[in-house]
Amino acid sequence: MTYERQMTTAAAADLESIDDYIAVSLDAPAAASNLMTEIDASIKRACENPYLYRLSRLDSLRQKGYRCIIVKNYVILYLVDEANHRIIIVRVFYGAMDYEKYV
């Protein structure tokens, strides 16, 4: 069974910011497009198999059930909502960032 995808407002803003930074600030629109395609494909795989990706390596997030999708240098945090058969994309961060405090 494929799970529904739900994205928080914060996650949507994260993706828009990442896309804008790469496409405009770095003047690499093709790289931005490729990254967004790869992120979308990874999220689709999570919808098809919600437990495919590991729990967060950060203890505080792991205890709350956060799972991580790693795409290039980015971490996509999501939760599995079994009751409603959906995955919730919570945030998207640059992997080197200390993102635990933003969740």
Domain segments of the chain as ranges: 4-96
CA distances, 14 to each of 20, 36, 49, 89, 93 (Å): 10, 12, 23, 11, 7
Pairing of the two strands 4-7 and 86-94 = parallel
pLDDT at 36: 97
pLDDT at 4: 97
pLDDT at 75: 96
Local confidence pLDDT in tens for the 103 residues of the chain: 899 999 999 999 999 999 999 999 999 999 999 999 999 999 999 999 999 999 999 999 999 999 999 999 999 999 999 999 999 999 999 977 777 767 7
Three-state SS annotation for 42-98: HHHHHHHCCCCCCECCCHHHHHCCCEEEEECCEEEEEEEECCCCEEEEEEEEECCCC
pLDDT at 101: 66
Token pair belonging to 88: 């919730």
Q: 3.30.2310.20, 1.10.3720.10, 3.40.50.720, 2.40.30.20: which CATH number matches 4-96? A: 3.30.2310.20
pTM of the prediction?
Answer: 0.92
pLDDT at 100: 72
Token pair belonging to 65: 């059930």
